[in-house]
Each structure stands twice: as C-alpha cells, then as structure tokens.
Structure 1
Amino acid sequence: LGAPYFKIVGMARAPLAAVMVGKTIGKTIDSGEIPVYIARFGRTKSEIFVTAIELQRKFGNKFDSIPTSAIGLYTYLKRLEQGLKQLMCGARKFALEYITRDDISSLTRKSAEISGIRYIMECDKEEAEKILDD
C-alpha cells in the first residue's frame, strides 16, 4: 500500500509497553504479591493472560518456559489483529488484498506529502462539508 515509499512499518512504544507489563505481571506472579486488579483474573500465567490457552495448545510443555514478557507482546499483537479485522469488516474489506490506498490515511502532513496517501484531516472532507451545508 505504501510502495514504493516504504515496505515495513516500525512499531515501538505500544509493543514495548506490552512487553514491560507482561514482565511486571510475571514478577508479581513469581513473588506471590499479585495486585488486586490483576488477581481478579487469576494467580497464574494460564489464568491471567487471555492467550495462554492458545499458547499452551501450540507449545505444550514448553509453555512454562515462555517469558511473561513474550506472552504480553503476543497478547497485544492478537488484540491489534482483532482490531484490524473489525476495522476491515466495517469497511467491507474481508481480506488484506482488498485494501487499497484509498482505505488508509496518513497521520501527518509530511507522510502524506511523501507517500501520496491522503492526510487524515482531509479524508472525507468534501462529504463532511456537504452534510454540514445541508
């Protein structure tokens, strides 16, 4: 979609936050001092992390050696995946191959200028103005 200007999107802050939260939860599990707001979900990795069952099925006995930081990252990426699926369904685009440059927008003017992808504040601007004028 961004060709020829980019081939990959880098992510840092949100995935790193998920890793750090996962690591912190792991430390609280190990110490047995699980905060109340986490303990309501359980007291073990399997109970606390929503993706634990999926990972246990996939890795079997090796699940116990997976760091909680990795489970936190995996869980975050699964949530991101689900959100993208919902967004795509809302746009009636049921597979990645159906998404075009018209379906995405640039979050900054600079990226819009470089890529030719519309700036977010200009998307549907004409339609919005027409609605307001009526």
Structure 2
Amino acid sequence: MLGPTWEPLAPTSMLGLEGPCWVGPGPDGGFAVSEEFGDVQLFGSAHQPLGSLGTLTGHNFGHPAGVCSDAEGSIIVADEQRHQVTLFPRVGPPICLQLEGLKRPLGMACAPQGQLVVADAGDNCIKLYQYLGEMA
C-alpha cells in the first residue's frame, strides 16, 4: 500500500538559496532555511522571502545548521562551526545560549515545556536542555 501523495506548492518561490541545508518552522506560520557556510533565510507563511537573519541582525554565522522557532516566535539556530546555539528574539539582538558540552550541534527542535533538543554529531548523541529563565 502506498502512502499519501505530495504535490509541490510553489517551487519557484525559494530559488536563489546558496546551498540550502536545514529547514525548520519559523514564526507566524513561516519557515527558516539555513544555507551551507552562509546565512539563514526567512520565509513568511505565503512562502515569500522576508530576508536573512545575518542582514536583519548583523550576526555573522560560521556554518548555520539546524533551525527552529520557540513558542514566543524567536528563531534558534545551531552553528556547527562555532559550536554554539544562538537565539534570535523577535525584538533585540541575538543571544548566544549557554548550552554546556556542545561539540558539533546540527539538528534542533523546540519541544513542549520549554525544552530544546539538539543533535550533537560531535558526541553522537541527542542533548536535551531546559529553559530555566534569565540570569539575574
């Protein structure tokens, strides 16, 4: 038995990417695409280009990998080359998250109850982090 059939919605709307690698949900029904050794491109819910995180925030990526968005609409990006994860809030500058023990973060997902799941290829494991709030 075959599964459901999928049909492309708008293949021409995402042309011009430079080595797209990872795709994740973005805020407001859109999505984000990381580009190999480049930037992270944002698209709206109608698949329209919204710009790049690097241009919009002035952030320089090493090698952006996994992308996801949290319940507040912030975008979170794993940077494989810099061994870090950065949060891009809707308002304000990017924030390097204090995640201990990351060697080569690749894939990511925001889980319920404020958890961040990170696939760390450097340790060959999945790491789970819990948001504890801002430090005073």
Which range, TM-score by smaller chain?
A: under 0.3
Q: Normalization by structure 2: what TM-score?
A: 0.26
TM-score, normalization: structure 1? 0.26
Structure number with the higher strand fraction is 2
Greater relative CO (CA pairs within 8 A, separation 6+): 1
> Which structure shows the higher helix fraction?
1
